[in-house]
Amino acid sequence: MATAGGSFAESSTSLVRALGTSSQTVLSACTGGVITAVLVTPLDVLKTRTQLAASRGSGSAAVLQMVRTEGIVSLWGGLTPSLLMTVPSCAIYFTSYEKIRDAVAAGGSERERGLAPVVAAAGAKVLASTTTAPLELMRTRMQADRALLNEGMVGGARSLVKHEGVLGLFRGLGPMLLRDVPFSCLYWVGYERLKGLFIEAHPDRELSAAASFVAGGTAGAFATLMTMPLDVVKTRRQVERPAGAQAETLGAMVTRIVRLEGPRALLAGVVPRLAKMAPSCAIMIASFEMGKKWFAVEKIHS
């Protein structure tokens, strides 16, 4: 029979192991986050400016004009909120994904195991996107507006709250979730399938860093293309100031864009976004998978 002291010791050990596993997951998920943010921010800025230029009928010339008038540094507009949101976003997203996936798959049936990546991807993305929505908003606005970039993130946030209220910090959350949740589901389903194929093809049934990189990049590119119109709507909603007491519905916005600018406007910025998302997904998932493998090896050797 276990003593009270023994039960407490066992509980403490379990807690330490759980916390250790969670911290290792977070560290694995965030390893490439900062590097990725620095590398792909220029592509994100180009994507945002291209989408807004399309809405104003100025085309790609506006992007070139931006670089000439604002300098090359403008390509890293919104980097501060990008870096600030990397750690909490990765920590919540990857940790939640694995926990939800494992919990759903634990049901045992083939159907539940098949649905596990979809349910986990949707739940994890809702949590991560909602938590970091104010930082995402500030990043988008700083990328779009040079004046706001000069004002800084804190000053810009104060001005936004002053004119639009606290809820203004969550402006565009609906379109963002409509973009991010399908993206997350498409990405993880694609990645898990490709990951399984690569593992089956490996002589030792292992996932190599190269295979993880390719699977992540391929799945990210596919999910990006499928959700591109939702990204355009998200950017427009976050940057456009409310004109009246009642905001335009998403359906009305899509209809207006297609009517005034043509269907191709819903794909504005696809090249820079694709150039950003494919390597971002590849770097992040490869860092995540290899980080977990490294921690597992260290645990065996310790």
* Residue 258 belongs to a domain: yes
Percent of the chain scoring above 90 in pLDDT: 25
* Mean pLDDT value across residues 191-210: 92
Amino acid in the structure at residue 58: S
User: pTM of this prediction?
Assistant: 0.72
- For 231, the domain range is 32-301
* Residue 163 belongs to a domain: yes
Average pLDDT, the chain: 80
228 touches 273 (CB < 8 A)? yes
Assigned token pair, 197: 């194929």
Q: Please give the pLDDT value at position 147.
A: 67
Concatenate the DSSP letters of all residues of 222-272 into one string: HHHHHTHHHHHHHHHHHHSPP-SSSPPPHHHHHHHHHHHH-GGGGGTTHHH
The CATH number of the domain holding residue 291 is 1.50.40.10
* Mean pLDDT value across residues 250-258: 88
Crossing angle of helices 153-164 and 133-144, rounded to 10°: 100
* Residue 279 belongs to a domain: yes
- pLDDT tens sequence across 120-171: 999 999 999 999 988 888 888 877 776 666 777 788 788 888 888 888 888 8
Which residues lie below 8 Å from residue 251, measured CB to CB, with a gap of 6+? Answer: none
The region that residue 59 occupies, defined by phi over 0 for left and psi between -120 and 50 for alpha, beta otherwise, is left
Which residues lie below 8 Å from residue 61, measured CB to CB, with a gap of 6+? Answer: 53
* Residue 26 belongs to a domain: no
* Residue 5 belongs to a domain: no
Number of residues that make up the chain: 302
Number of structural domains found in the chain: 1
* Residue 49 belongs to a domain: yes
* Residue 9 belongs to a domain: no
Q: Please give the pLDDT value at position 46.
A: 83
Who wins on pLDDT, 298 or 294? 294
- For the ranges 6-10, 39-43, 118-122, 283-287, the maximum mean pLDDT occurs at 118-122
Which residues lie below 8 Å from residue 136, measured CB to CB, with a gap of 6+? Answer: 81, 85, 129, 172, 176, 238
Q: Distance between CA 10 and CA 16 in Å, rounded?
A: 10
Q: Please give the pLDDT value at position 156.
A: 79
Sign of the four-CA dihedral 68, 71, 77, 83:
positive
Rg from Cα positions in the chain: 21
Asked if the model's pLDDT at residue 9 lies above 50, the reply is no
Asked if the model's pLDDT at residue 1 lies above 90, the reply is no
* Residue 55 belongs to a domain: yes
